[in-house]
């Protein structure tokens, strides 16, 4: 769950019994979307035939600073350019009356072998400087998970 552009956003991954009728499920989902007044709802089959398992995070990144357009784009663009997989992301906008809003983003990352912690630090530090953000990067000890 997240707030994106001021809208509550949620993604669910649901398992069904073998042979479930996808069109019936799609119709039920559309009916609920209409009844609840949701902006959008989609249904897409996700195959696990390749034996996909969720990778464990290798690094945790936190950025925060004065809220402004483009923070998520700048950070995730740099990560995508390095081929970094974002496993989890949480954001929060803290606003107090009379104060400037502070935006915070927390991400769990899986770095490809070609990208080390030093490169991650360097690339994200450049983004943080450009976007006037504070940045912390922490390697995750697999046993601590």
pLDDT digits over 59-82, tens only? 999 999 999 999 999 999 999 999
Cβ contact 92:73 at 8 Å: no
Does 66 or 35 have the greater pLDDT score? 66
What rounded mean pLDDT belongs to the chain?
A: 85
Tokens of 14: 């649901």
pLDDT digits (tens, 9 = 90+) for 41-63: 777 776 666 566 778 899 999 99
Across the beta sheet with 102-110, what order do the strands follow? 85-94, 102-110, 59-66, 134-139
CA angle 110, 140, 74 (to 5 degrees): 50
Q: Tell me, what's the pLDDT at 145?
A: 47
pTM beyond cutoff 0.75: no
Give CA–CA dist 125/78, Å, rounded. Answer: 10
β-strand partners of 85: 110
Residue 122 has pLDDT above 60, yes or no: yes
CA angle 116, 64, 105 (to 5 degrees): 70
DSSP 8-state symbol, 99: S
Using 50, 70 and 90 to split pLDDT, how confident is the model at 114? confident
Average pLDDT over residues 86-105: 91
More confident: 39 or 102:
102
| Cα separation, 42 vs 104, whole angstroms | 28
Instruction: Give percent above pLDDT 90 in the chain.
Output: 48
Domains annotated on the chain, with CATH: 1-51 (no CATH), 59-144 (3.30.70.260)
In the predicted structure, residue 8 carries a pLDDT above the cut 90 = no
For residues 1-21, give the mean pLDDT: 73
């Amino acid at each position: 769950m997240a707030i994106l552009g001021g809208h509550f956003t949620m993604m669910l991954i649901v398992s069904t019994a073998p042979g479930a009728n996808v069109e019936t499920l799609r119709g039920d989902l559309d009916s609920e979307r209409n009844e609840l007044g949701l902006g959008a709802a989609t249904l897409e089959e996700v195959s696990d035939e390749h034996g996909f398992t969720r990778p464990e995070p290798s690094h945790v990144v936190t950025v925060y600073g004065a809220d402004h357009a483009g923070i998520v784009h700048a950070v995730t663009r740099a990560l995508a350019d390095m081929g970094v997989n974002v496993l989890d992301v949480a954001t929060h906008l803290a606003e107090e009356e009379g104060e400037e809003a502070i935006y915070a983003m927390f991400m769990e990352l899986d770095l490809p072998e070609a990208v080390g912690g030093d490169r991650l630090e360097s690339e994200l530090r450049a983004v943080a400087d450009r976007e006037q953000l504070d940045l912390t990067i922490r390697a995750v000890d697999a046993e601590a998970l």
